[in-house]
């Protein structure tokens, strides 16, 4: 039992929104669609739901071609970034609405709504209207409505993006628990790499209407297929430099060079793109690690992390490290580079060597 996208493309008014895509999602899997705004996440979700038809290609579900099938006939649910509920109905009626439309009997509706409300801690709010709820509760209601009918496919389009920090963390922890033990396919679209890492499951990196890589989240993170996938899956942004490799050494502009060790020796010499995630460049001294000396452009504290933007030979680099590392803007900073955790991409962008 799978959801399959076969050579699916979508273009609107001559503009391609989704380039040819092949994707197989397994039953009971949690899949994250990771991409920036306008990368095509929502379009892809709408195609999966059946709210939109692909321009070309087919969508198969459980061995059946469902390409032209109306969304009402498919057993799907969707949760949006905006908290979408029926404003004139109470929370109870909101959650019950898909069951009522399906013609389920009252007792069964009551039982199901009660169970899902319990799960999402909405029991005390069942008699209220959505407008009388907090944002978190409104989104819980929308999620409850998506869960109550036991859909085969649950699509979540950045469901936590409009919530404030604390509620987001809370709901983020709850989500995987909600889907545990269900046989449905979950697709979760997000712009935040952190969310993909938290949920595990599978991740598809999406860039400008193309799925650049799909597979188990850990694998995608540690071994991105190409530079774009690595960039999509990096927050803060990936540090990238054009280098020339000679033997085991790479040479950056400005006479800086690193020894990548034996792994790089087997690769042909020549120009490469070298990339390293921000948290592998830290101000904490590690004996034996090469260093970069830059000028601090910006030093920000995000919770328990320090993010330092520094300037080096015409480029901007970013370092992310645990703990508080105060730096004055304009000061010289020495940063240690964990070169063993860096990537080397070929001229065509493909991963040639290295891993997290």
Partner 1 sequence: MRKRSLIPIIYIVFLMLPIYWLVAMSFKTTNEILGGFSLFPQDFTLENYAKIFTDSTWYSGYINSLIYVVTNTILSVAVALPAAYAFSRYRFLGDKHLFFWLLTNRMAPAAVFALPFLQLYSAVGLFDTHIAVALAHTLFNVPLAVWILEGFMSGVPKELDETAYVDGYSFPRFFVRIFIPTIAAGIGVACFFCFMFSWVEMLLAKTLTSVDAKPIVATMTRTASTSGYELGLLAAAGTLTIIPGAFVIYFVRNYIAKGFALGRV
Positions touching partner 1 (CB under 8 A) are 46, 49, 51, 70-72, 76-78, 80, 82, 84, 86-88, 97-98, 101-102, 142, 145, 149
Question: 148 or 281, CB closer to partner 1?
Answer: 148
Residue 28's nearest CA partner among 9, 1, 5 is: 1
Taking the least distance from each CB to partner 1, the nearer of 94 and 205 is 94
Between CA 188 and CA 209 the distance in angstroms is 16
The β-bridge relationship of strands 351-354 and 343-345 is antiparallel
Closest CB to partner 1 among residues 84, 256: 84
How many angstroms separate the Cα of 342 from the Cα of each of 12, 345, 353? 39, 10, 9
Minimum CB distance to partner 1, residue 116 (Å): 14
Nearer to partner 1, 76 or 204 (CB): 76
| Calpha distance 285→292 (Å, rounded) | 11
Least gap, CB of 79 to partner 1 (angstroms):
9
Q: Which of 231, 229, 233, 251 is CA-nearest to residue 242?
A: 251
Decide if 344 contacts 305 (C-beta within 8 A): no
Report, in Å, the least distance between residue 52 CB and partner 1.
10
Token digits of residue 166: 């604390």
How near is the Cβ of 129 to partner 1 at its closest, in Å? 12
The answer to whether 155 and 79 have CB atoms below 8 angstroms apart is yes
CB of 72 to partner 1, least distance (A): 5
Of the pair 160, 276, the CB lying nearest partner 1 is at 160
Inter-residue contact 138 to 60 (CB < 8 Å): no
Q: Compare residues 138 and 239 and give the one whose CB is closer to partner 1.
A: 138
Smallest gap from Cβ 13 to partner 1, in A, equals 9
Kindly tell me which of 17 and 280 has the beta carbon lying closer to partner 1: 17
Other Cβ atoms less than 10 A from the Cβ of 200: the count is 13
User: Is the C-alpha dihedral spanning 208, 212, 216, 217 positive or negative?
Assistant: negative
* Shortest Å, Cβ 74 to partner 1: 9
Q: What is the DSSP letter of 238?
A: P
Q: Looking at beta carbons only, is 86 or 173 nearer to partner 1?
A: 86
In the complex, minimum distance from the CB of residue 188 to partner 1, in angstroms, rounded to a whole number: 16
Closest approach of partner 1 to the CB of residue 164, in Å: 20
Q: Count Cβ neighbours within 10 Å for each residue of 217-245 and write b for 16 or more, e otherwise.
A: beebbebbbbbbbbbbbbbbebbbbebeb
When the beta carbons of 7 and 88 are compared against partner 1, the nearer one is 88
Closer residue to partner 1, CB minimum distance, 98 or 193? 98
Backbone φ and ψ for 62, nearest 5 degrees, come out as 50, 50
| Number of other residues whose CB lies within 10 A of the CB of residue 328 | 9
| Secondary structure letter of residue 262 according to DSSP | G
Phi, psi at 237, each rounded to 5°: -55, 150
* Nearest approach, Cβ of residue 156 and partner 1 (Å): 12
Of 337, 344, 346, the residue nearest 354 (C-alpha): 344
């Amino acid at each position: 039992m799978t959801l399959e996208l076969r050579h699916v493309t979508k273009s609107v008014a001559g503009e391609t929104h989704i380039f040819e895509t092949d994707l197989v999602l397994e039953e009971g899997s949690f899949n994250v669609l990771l991409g920036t705004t306008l990368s095509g996440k929502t379009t892809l979700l709408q195609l999966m739901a059946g709210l939109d038809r692909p321009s070309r290609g087919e969508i198969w579900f459980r061995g059946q071609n469902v390409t032209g099938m109306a969304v009402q006939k498919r057993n799907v649910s969707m949760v949006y970034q905006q908290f979408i509920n029926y404003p004139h109905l109470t929370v109870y009626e909101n959650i019950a609405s898909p069951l009522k439309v399906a013609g389920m009997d009252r007792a069964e509706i009551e039982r199901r709504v009660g169970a899902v409300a319990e799960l999402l801690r909405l029991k005390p709010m069942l008699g209220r209207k959505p407008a009388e709820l907090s944002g978190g509760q409104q989104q819980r209601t929308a999620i409850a409505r998506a869960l109550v009918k036991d859909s085969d496919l649950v699509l979540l389009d950045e469901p936590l993006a409009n919530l404030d920090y604390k509620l987001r963390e809370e709901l983020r922890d709850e989500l995987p628990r909600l889907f545990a033990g269900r046989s449905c396919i979950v697709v979760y679209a997000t712009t935040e790499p952190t969310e993909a890492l938290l949920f595990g499951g599978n991740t598809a990196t999406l860039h400008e209407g193309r799925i650049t890589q799909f597979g188990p989240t850990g694998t995608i993170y540690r071994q991105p297929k190409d530079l774009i996938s690595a960039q999509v899956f990096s927050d803060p942004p990936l540090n990238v430099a054009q280098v020339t490799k000679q033997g085991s050494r790479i040479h950056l502009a400005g006479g800086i060079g690193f020894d990548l060790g034996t792994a790089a020796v087997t690769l042909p010499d020549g120009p490469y793109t070298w990339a390293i995630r921000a948290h592998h460049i830290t101000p904490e001294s590690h004996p034996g690690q090469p260093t970069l000396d830059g000028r601090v452009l910006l030093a920000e504290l995000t919770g328990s992390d320090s993010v330092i933007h520094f300037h080096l030979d015409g480029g901007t680099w970013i370092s992310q490290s645990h703990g508080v590392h105060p730096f004055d803007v304009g000061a010289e900073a020495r940063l240690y580079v964990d070169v063993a955790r860096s990537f080397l991409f070929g001229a065509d962008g493909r991963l040639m060597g290295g891993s997290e």
